[in-house]
Amino acid sequence: MSVSIHATEKALFKVFSNDFAFSIPAYQRPYAWTKDQAGELLNDLLSFLGDDSEAIADTNSYFLGSIVLIKGEDDPKADVVDGQQRLTTLTILLAVLRSLLSEKNASKMTKYIYQEGDKIEGTSDCYRLKLRERDEDFFRQYIQCETGLDNVLKLDASQLTDSQRNIQENASYFYGELRKLSEQERERFSHYLMTRCFLVLVSTPDIDSAYRIFSILNARGLDLSLSDFLKSEIIGGILSSEQEKYTRIWENEEENLGRETFQELFAHIRMIERKAKLSETALNEFRKYILPKRDPQKFINEIIKPYSDALEIIKTANYYTDNNAKKNINYLFKWLNKIDNIDWIPAAILYFSKNRHTPDKLKSFLIDLERLAAGLMILRADINERIRRYAKLLTAIEKDVNLYSFDSPLQLTPDEINRIIITIDGDLYPIKRIRQYVLLRLDSALSEAEGTYDYPVITVEHVLPQNPSQGSTWLKWFPNDEERLQYVHRIGNLVLLSRKKNAEAQNYDFDKKKKKYFVSNTNIVPFVLTTQVLQQSEWTSAVIEQRQKDCLESLRKIWRL
């Protein structure tokens, strides 16, 4: 069935007019623009406007991007699918201008914020923009109301929600910047803003076509996500008397995780439920296979809430229990979070949700999950291989089968173990995606899990350099190029440093390198692997071979290889 879609470019005086009554749907996230985005917008506008000597001409026009609306052809009511951030910020800007302009000009600015009803035309009083229910009263009282701006600037920010704080900060920023202009400059800016700044309004009568449109438009605002559309459908399927309760649960979980991680949560939910690679749009897969609208309260109570709580603990490595397993569990979460993909997370969420109150079971599972995830990373398993493996593991967790049997998808196969050993016993340094993880994991084991690795920079360095200088001690110890190349890139010849590489220092002779390159400014080496090197008086093939053997044995113990 064809859908009517309209796209028109309009100056702001036509956008904030009786042609539109904008409303932010309940599924939208809170207002999220900070002073960074608001400042960029204002600076752009003032830059395009130019100075007082320049006449405002067509060449000075400024394009504010596109917004997507659900709107009928003859009805001004418009649900904002994409564009909330810009419309809200522009309304704040209009309110600030109104407060700074002369009384005569201020009254003219009010009509862009507030529509006065007309009995002859049959229209009623209304504000041009209606925010979500949770923000609506605050925005109306402190921004849209003519006397509200002075009061919002005096509010205690610590008592405000994130969205209210953003509104306050952006209003304060605009106020401070526009106060620097003269009355004449503010009048000129107001004229430019309303007549030479344009939005493209894309309107469609239903949410499905709106979702497709917003997905392909490169708008300036912060894009909506799958979770925003699901929120609309799921919350909309709950009795109105219960909607506020479940909206608060949803938004509290989003705030606890942060928007980006909350979006990630839905990809993990989809994987837990579908156990397969995405084959169509995520929205369609949720509608067709996961069916959250069938029992929306249950979906929120039994999936959104516990899975969100699990993901927060997994990401922050902040599991709490009364027994000694807490330290080990959080230790394993920290290592899992260093894996170069997130495909292991759905299995962690599902198992954690089922067993969060049995820490010993959690510990055993996470030991083997980190072993599996690290193994697949070392083997450079591609995304399809990882998804197939973790899908089998999700099924095994759901069916409550023995995850520690020989043929369990949680366990590495003999072939995988053999290939992992070959990889870590070979030239590790050229494999950039895994070398640091392997060395840090090894270093942590050697320090008996006492090492900390939260350094801004960690680099992997050679002891025996790749290209030793002529006449150096290195060439006396390794006169044969073939022999040198046999050792240079292997674990036994690698160390970790908590600073950037120094190309010149890499080729120092061994004694000088130990003193000037492998020691930090405070003379405290943060890595056991590096401390071991400092204890050596020479660095020969025999030393590297023994170190290689010891390191490999330690890694085999860590991962039961």
Question: Percentage of residues in the chain with pLDDT exceeding 70?
Answer: 89
**Residue 425 forms part of a structural domain:** no
Placement of tokens 């992992």 in the chain? 420
User: Would you state the structure tokens that stand for residue 559, as one six-digit string?
Assistant: 């991962």
**Lowest-confidence region among 113-122, 159-168, 203-212, 526-535:** 203-212
Single out the residue in 362, 380, 412 at which a domain terminates.
412
Q: pLDDT at residue 177 above 70?
A: yes
User: Would you state the structure tokens that stand for residue 32, as one six-digit string?
Assistant: 């999220």
Same domain, 254 and 355: no
CB 65 within 8 A of CB 219: yes
Same domain, 87 and 172: yes
User: Would you state the structure tokens that stand for residue 363, as one six-digit string?
Assistant: 């510990």
Nearest to 550 by CA among 531, 534, 529: 529
Same domain, 184 and 244: no
**Lowest-confidence region among 156-170, 276-290, 484-498:** 276-290
Q: Average pLDDT, stretch 119-141? A: 82
Q: Angle 504-507-510 (CA atoms, 0-180°, nearest 5)?
A: 130
pLDDT single digits (tens) 370-395 = 999 999 999 999 888 999 999 999 99
**Containing H/E element for 6?**
strand 6-11
User: Would you state the structure tokens that stand for residue 186, as one six-digit string?
Assistant: 């503010």
**How many domains in the chain?**
4
**Residue 99 forms part of a structural domain:** yes
Same domain, 204 and 263: no
pLDDT of 1: 43
Single out the residue in 185, 207, 223 at which a domain terminates.
223
**Residue 321 forms part of a structural domain:** no
The strand ranges marked E within 91-146 are 114-115, 126-127, 129-130
Distance CA 538, CA 433 (A): 30
CB 190 within 8 A of CB 109: yes
pLDDT of 207: 67
**Residue 423 forms part of a structural domain:** no
pLDDT of 285: 83
Same domain, 438 and 407: no
The values of phi and psi at residue 309, to 5°, are: -60, -40
**Containing H/E element for 200?**
strand 197-204
Q: How confident is the model at residue 211 (pLDDT cuts 50, 70, 90)?
A: low
pLDDT single digits (tens) 58-112 = 546 788 888 888 887 778 889 888 889 999 999 999 999 999 988 888 888 888 9
**Residue 12 forms part of a structural domain:** yes
Q: pLDDT at residue 481 above 80?
A: yes
Same domain, 166 and 18: yes
Placement of tokens 């605002």 in the chain? 221
Distance CA 253, CA 232 (A): 16
Single out the residue in 223, 238, 261 at which a domain terminates.
223
Nearest to 218 by CA among 65, 88, 87: 65
pLDDT of 478: 86
**Lowest-confidence region among 25-29, 221-225, 366-370, 426-430:** 221-225
Work out the mean pLDDT of the chain and round it to a whole number. Answer: 85
Q: pLDDT at residue 419 above 50?
A: yes
Q: pLDDT at residue 159 above 60?
A: yes
Domain that holds residue 172: 6-223
pLDDT single digits (tens) 216-234 = 543 333 445 678 778 877 8
Based on the number of CB atoms within 10 Å of its own CB, is 225 exposed (0-12), middle (13-18) or buried (19 or more)?
Answer: middle
Nearest to 91 by CA among 51, 50, 149: 149
pLDDT of 251: 85
**Is the model's pTM score more than 0.85?**
no
CB 541 within 8 A of CB 458: no
- Listed in sequence order, the DSSP H helices in 122-258 are 133-139, 149-152, 162-178, 183-196, 207-216, 226-236, 240-257
Placement of tokens 């407060």 in the chain? 99
pLDDT of 335: 94
Same domain, 54 and 144: yes
**Residue 1 forms part of a structural domain:** no
pLDDT of 109: 87
Question: Percentage of residues in the chain with pLDDT exceeding 90?
Answer: 40
**Residue 426 forms part of a structural domain:** no
pLDDT of 386: 92
pLDDT of 155: 86
Q: What are the beta bridge partners of residue 460?
A: 496
Same domain, 402 and 506: no
Same domain, 294 and 353: no
**Residue 550 forms part of a structural domain:** yes
- Listed in sequence order, the DSSP H helices in 400-431 are 414-424
Q: pLDDT at residue 2 above 90?
A: no
Residues contacting 353, CB < 8 A, separation 6+:
306, 307, 310
pLDDT of 220: 38
Same domain, 170 and 182: yes
Same domain, 26 and 166: yes
Same domain, 310 and 331: no
Placement of tokens 């009254």 in the chain? 107
